[in-house]
Amino acid sequence: MLQVLTATLLGLLLATAAVAAAAPSKPVVMKAKSGDVTFQHASHKGLKCDLCHGAKVGKIAQMGKEKGHATCHDCHKKEGKGPTKCGDCHKK
């Protein structure tokens, strides 16, 4: 009985971890005064999740102007890929 319970709990933990690690299939829209920013996980699939999310994968806490520019804009400039002009990301 204990083995069945242990196996069931282990299965639930593994299933939960797999679901939590899956990137959203729909775009993530972040509200901003200068226009909403739409983020596509699919176009960033070559990157490791922790580059943006840190150790805890899930919704990025406190993603405001400063953190967004430091995370996204600076990476786009450094890598020479992706939009770097305001209107390329911010859509009204």
Instruction: Map out the domains of the chain as residue ranges.
Output: 24-91
> What does the pLDDT read at residue 8?
52
> For residue range 60-72, what is the model confidence (pLDDT) as tens digits?
888 889 999 999 9
CATH for 24-91 (3.40.50.720, 3.60.21.10, 3.90.10.10, 3.40.50.670): 3.90.10.10
- In this structure, the number of other CB atoms found within 10 A of the CB of residue 10 comes to 10
Q: What is the pLDDT of residue 61?
A: 80
Q: Assess whether pLDDT exceeds 90 at residue 17.
A: no
| Predicted confidence (pLDDT) per residue in 19-74, tens digit | 445 788 899 999 999 999 999 999 998 899 988 888 888 888 888 899 999 999 99
pLDDT of 78 above 50: yes
Question: DSSP string spanning 31-86?
Answer: --TT-EEEE-GGGGTTS-THHHHTTS-SSPTT--HHHHIIIIIHHHHHHT-S--SH
Residue 90: per-residue pLDDT = 95
Enter the tokens of residue 39. 């983020």
